[in-house]
Structure 1
Amino acid sequence: MNQFKELQKLIKLTGDRAKLDAKANETYIVYKTAEGQIVREYSDGNVIPVSEQDESHV
């Protein structure tokens, strides 16, 4: 159980780092939501779903 908590912490830290890098480089991060949708999240907090046409460019 302790390893699971450590893994969750590392995953969160990785996501936080990706957000910081995206803000520094004025870009966005891409991830899959709990509902299974792929989205782009910009440093200003704007979240935009990725359409099927856009997925080939991600």
Structure 2
Amino acid sequence: MNPVQDLSKLIKLTGERAKLDAKANGTYIVYKTDKGQIVREYANGEIVPIKNPGVTHE
């Protein structure tokens, strides 16, 4: 594998691990979609857009 493929695989594994941890702890993960929207994804698959990403404790 080349370094780009290695990094891509590591990023994917990190995201999968975050989802598992969120499910185990009853929380959610936050990420930016391909369209640039910041969202919360809950363990049940529900995805909620964050309206004001600069505001803490929405």
Scaled by the length of structure 1, the TM-score of the pair is 0.89
Alignment of 1:1-58 (within 5 A): 2-52=2-52, 55-57=55-57
Distance 1:41 1:31 in 2: 8
Scaled by the length of structure 2, the TM-score of the pair is 0.89
How far the C-alpha of 1:24 sits from its partner, in A, is 0.1
| Pairwise CA RMSD | 2.0
Moved over 4 A (4+): none
Name the structure with the higher helix share.
Answer: 1
Amino acid at match of 1:52: N
How far the C-alpha of 1:6 sits from its partner, in A, is 0.3
Q: Can you give the 5+ residue segments of structure 1 that lack an aligned partner in the other structure?
A: none
Indicate the percent of aligned positions where both proteins have the same amino acid.
62
Distance 1:33 1:53 in 2: 13
Aligned length in residues: 58
Change (3 A) 1:54 1:24: farther
